[in-house]
A and B are shown apart, each in its own frame.
Chain A
Amino acid sequence: MKQIKQFLLARKTVLTLILLILAAVVAGYIFPQKFTATEEQFQKWHEAYPFWSQWSGRLGLDHVFTTPWFAALLLIFLVTLTLSTVDQSRFSYRRTFGRGTAPDSEGTRIAASREDIISIIRDAGYGLAYHDESSLKFIRHRWGYWGNALLHAGMAVVIFSSLLIVLTEKRGLIHIVEGDTFLPGGPWLLEETGILGGRFILPDAVRLEKSNIEFWETDEVKYQTTVFSFMGSDGKETRHTVGINLNVNNRGLRIYQGRSFGEAFYVSLTDSAGKEFNRVFNLDHPVKRDKASYGNFMLEGIPYMLKTKYYADAEKRTIDSKDPLLVMRLVQIDQSLGGVTGSGEGGRFKMDIVEKEKVLGEVSLKTGEKKPFGPYAAELVHVAKWTSLIFTRSIGMAGVFAGFFIIIIGGTLTYFMPPREIHAVREGDGFNLTFKSMKFRNLYEDEFKKIIGTFNERKNR
């Protein structure tokens, strides 16, 4: 056990662990990560670097921060930090409250009374930390001894809390249209849960009441808020407003305003036989009043693709979607095999699929309008706003911030308040004064010389 502890606390072990963590973080930067890169970026990278692509998959370099080896690395580092914190706390306690030993270096002999010694050294900012018949110990910034212990303790708390979050966090994203309800257990647009998190099911249904977006005159978003309600199974409703930097806490859930928003277009298509196809298209809000937002959709029962775009304002005068214009194109896509390239024996084959598009119809619609659209009649029945909401449930977040705070206190004590000691040991009718500094000794020697100067001045008076 003792050997294991020694190994974990060995300077080389600690340095190796830090270097390994650094290497892992660098790898996480170099290799595209599943949770930050888009599918397209991911594919491109794999095609560009086939050699690294194999290793990326095998070693989990495409999701470094959720791999078991990274968790193990953090766990070992956590144990090391915890052991080191315990050791350093003991050392700090002894230094802060113990008698301590005067440095071996030769001191300066001062002919002064015990009271004068105490008074002058105290006036220089040193506190009397220990005293007995024959010796006095003064410390300036005595809490500075705790700097390293706190620095390490803070890191341990951050790592522990982060691991807790990674294991237990639940996070879900929805896009919801005004007036619509998201039921408990409904499908999330994106869901992330920790290994021990389980499925994320909301306790109550959520209904979107209103989405409010304010814009600058430059068409950039000025502010965004959303009013939504939790609807309990007992019929009780509670209304909340969430906004950017204005999140809501409700029964252990935190709800955030998502960044994406737009318009939901309720479109009805009727074929020549009178059959109706109703569909809602959620499109992102355009970034400028004269720029369109785009989306492609396949409709069940219709063998064509719908390519859509919309302008926030039919006249392109405003970014507010009070009178939006929806443009739809009905496209028939024919696919054919373009060719096969590549070699046999361990090589790769590449198949090119050629797509030919044929436009069957195009229509521009404002709310309430109905127009012919290829073999259909299209009607824009209604337009409503949609927005995104993020729901999270996690434990350990407070630990992360508390840990960071402890790191900062540790760093501040270590580098801003390095402790200095003056030991006064009785010698005949005077005292022998010695100076000690754990860090940056040569930066504080002047401080000690100044104190000695004060004694000399007083003696010469």
Chain B
Amino acid sequence: MTSPLIIDTSAHWAAVIIYVIATVLNAYGLIFENEKAYKKSYYIALAGLLVHGLAILYRWNVSGHGPYMARYEVMSSNAWMALSLFIVFSKFIPKIRPASIIVFPSVFLMIAIGIFFNPEVTKLPPSLRSIWLVLHVSFYKIALGSLLIALAFSIFYILKNRTQIKWVRKLPELDIIDNYAYRFAGFGFTFWAIAMLAGSIWAYESWGRYWGWDAIETWSLITWISFGIYLHMRRFFGLKGEKASYLFMVCFILSIIALFFTSLIESSVHSEYFRS
């Protein structure tokens, strides 16, 4: 392991530790209704975001390319994007803030899992030198962030509906939670579409095909259609509440398979580059 890698992974571990502290404080603040601890958790998470962001920038500088090659850097940047997106959304929509109890731990888990993959820097293949690739990858990260928030609200709905947990009772009304889950799923659906569009333009520019039906493309489409079904059911069939939450969770699992697992198990133009 060379020294830039030690700096890189150490900075990532530092971010993980800060996020863990933020998560513990956040859960403590929310569960025991300690406003001070709850607020502090956000400041600590912001500090973690800064350290984490610097680690990503450092690696970017060392590798000469963005975080879209090795699984390690992909997971790290996904985590960073999810948390940034959540903080921006929660600034404008304060009611979604309790979702931090799901988002914060997801973030440090994503980085920690990423660290266990090979962190070696890989060279950028020529076909990946395209602005469309940057947009393609970025929008999948943004979509994942939105879906993570929707997941938090789907879980909240079930918890609030089924349990008498004290902190859960403090969450917004059930129909509001339900609508947030619906809306953030809609955001995720839209961002997913943008990511697929950017990917298809990139593929067309590189190989003259906008769609190749490779395993990862197919899974991405399966996920998008599934979210389409979820939204369609909500819009036209009045699906809501717990049933909608469970359907969303199925779609979310599909999205996780599409984003993280298909490239590990399948041979495709994507996995050729992203497997490491």
Contact pick for A390, options B207, B222, B235, B237, CB 8 Å? B207
Whether B276 is near chain A, meaning CB under 8 Å from some CB there, is no
Q: How far is the CA of A390 from the CA of B208 in the complex (A)?
A: 8
Asked if A65 and B213 make an inter-chain contact with CB atoms under 8 angstroms apart, the answer reads: yes
Docked-complex contact A401 and B205, CB < 8 angstroms: no
* Contact status of A416 and B190, CB under 8 A, knowing A245-B129, A400-B210: yes
CB distance from B223 to the nearest CB of A (A): 10
**B38 lies within 8 A of chain A by Cβ:** no
Q: Mark each residue of chain B from 110 to 139: 1 if its CB lies under 8 Å from any CB of chain A, else 0.
A: 000000000000110111011000000000
In the assembled complex, B9 has its CB within 8 A of some CB on chain A: no
Tell me if B182 is interfacial: C-beta within 8 Å of chain A: yes
Q: Which residue of chain B has the shortest Cβ distance to A441 in the bound complex?
A: B179
B228 x A18 contact (CB < 8 A): yes
> Which one, B213, B232, B233, contacts A33 given CB within 8 A?
B213
Q: How far is the CA of A243 from the CA of B200 in the complex (A)?
A: 18
Decide: A443 and B176 in contact? CB cutoff 8 A.
yes
Residues of chain B contacted by A397 (CB below 8 angstroms): 204, 210
Q: Does the CB pair B208–A29 fall under 8 Å? A: no
B170 CB, nearest partner CB in chain A, Å: 17
Of the listed stretches A318-326, A328-336, A405-413, A426-434, name the one at the interface; the rest are far from the partner chain. A405-413
Stretch in B12-20, B21-29, B157-165, B191-199 with 4+ CB within 8 Å of A: B191-199
- Residue A101 lies at the interface, judged by CB distance under 8 Å to chain B: no
Chain A residues with CB below 8 A from B175, complex form: 442
Cβ B208 vs Cβ A256 within 8 A? yes
Stretch at the interface among A133-141, A216-224, A299-307, A353-361: A216-224
Task: Assess whether A220 is in contact with B225, with CB atoms less than 8 Å apart.
Answer: no
Among A19, A171, A259, A440, the residue within 8 A (CB) of B229 is A19
A401 and B187 in contact, given A223-B126, A245-B130 (Cβ under 8 angstroms): no
Within 8 Å of chain B (Cβ to Cβ): is A120? no
Do A442 and B183 touch (CB < 8 A)?
no
CA of A222 to CA of B186, assembled, Å: 39
B150 to chain A, nearest CB (A): 11
| A contact residues around B221 at 8 Å (CB) | 25
Chain A residues bordering chain B, tally (CB within 8 A) = 49
Given known contacts A29-B219, A397-B204, A401-B201, is B126 in contact with A222 (CB within 8 Å)? Answer: yes
CA distance A416 to B93 in the complex (A): 13
| A443-B225 in contact (CB<8A) | no
Determine the chain A residues whose CB is within 8 A of the CB of B173 once the complex forms. 442
Contact partners of B218 in chain A: CB under 8 A: 25, 28-29
B201→A415 contact, CB < 8 A: no
B104 interface residue (CB < 8 Å to A): no
What is the minimal beta-carbon distance from B266 to any residue of chain A, in angstroms? 9
Q: Are B187 and A442 in contact (CB under 8 A)?
A: no
Q: Which residue of B lies closest to A413 (CB)?
A: B190
**CA separation between A29 and B223, bound complex, in Å?**
13
Q: How far is the CA of A244 from the CA of B203 in the complex (A)?
A: 11
Residues of chain A contacted by B214 (CB below 8 angstroms): 36
List the A side residues contacting B205 at CB < 8 Å.
245, 247
A245 touches B187 (CB 8 A): no
Is A189 in contact with chain B by the CB < 8 A criterion? no
* Residues of B with C-beta under 8 A to A247: 205, 208
Closest Cβ of chain A: how far from B81's Cβ, in Å? Answer: 18
- Say whether B77 faces chain A, with CB atoms less than 8 Å apart: no
Which chain A positions have C-beta within 8 A of B196?
404
CB < 8 Å: which of B180, B197, B236 contacts A401?
A: B197
Q: Which residues does B use to contact A, with CB under 8 Å?
A: 122-123, 125-127, 129-130, 173, 175-176, 179-180, 182-183, 186-187, 189-190, 193-194, 196-197, 200-201, 204-208, 210-215, 218-219, 221-222, 225-226, 228-229, 232-233, 235-237
Ordered nearest first, which 4 A-B pairs have the shortest CB separation?
A: A415-B186, A411-B190, A244-B126, A404-B197
Q: Please give the residue numbers on chain A whose beta carbons come within 8 Å of chain B beta carbons, in ascending order.
A: 11, 14-15, 18-19, 21-22, 25-26, 28-29, 33, 35-36, 65, 148, 162, 171, 216, 218, 220-224, 243-245, 247, 254, 256, 259, 390, 392, 397, 400-401, 404-405, 407-408, 411-412, 414-416, 440, 442-443
| 5 A-B pairs (CB sep. < 8 Å) | A148-B235, A218-B123, A245-B129, A245-B206, A247-B208
Known A-B contacts: A25-B218, A222-B126, A408-B193. Give 20 more (CB < 8 A).
Answer: A15-B229, A15-B233, A18-B232, A19-B229, A22-B229, A29-B218, A29-B222, A33-B213, A220-B122, A223-B126, A224-B126, A245-B127, A400-B200, A404-B197, A407-B197, A408-B190, A411-B189, A442-B179, A443-B176, A443-B180
